[in-house]
């Protein structure tokens, strides 16, 4: 799973399945997954639109494991 939720469920982070790069506190700042995903995609993240992933950061976009972009 590439979206990690805080124990209280009010925040979440996005983790790259390739290198482990993490963007913390997305939920606290953007409040929902759809908004967070649309923003990080503009900054080079790729992968499945779902929270389960896989997701890849801009450093890992050349890896074939992330060929699906949703």
The separation between CA 39 and the C-alpha centre of its own chain, rounded to angstroms, equals: 10
Mean of the per-residue pLDDT values of the chain: 82
Helix, strand or coil, per DSSP, at residue 2 = coil
Domain boundaries, the chain: 3-66
Share of the chain above pLDDT 70, in %: 76
Of 49, 46, 51, the C-alpha closest to 64 is 46
pLDDT tens digit sequence for 10-54: 788 999 999 999 999 898 888 889 999 999 999 999 999 988 889
């Amino acid at each position: 799973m590439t979206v990690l939720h805080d124990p209280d469920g009010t925040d979440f982070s996005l983790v790259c399945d390739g290198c482990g790069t993490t963007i913390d506190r997305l939920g606290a700042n953007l409040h929902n997954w759809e908004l967070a995903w649309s923003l990080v995609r503009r900054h080079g993240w790729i992968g499945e639109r779902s929270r389960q992933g896989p997701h890849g950061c801009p450093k890992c976009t050349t890896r074939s494991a992330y060929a699906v972009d949703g």
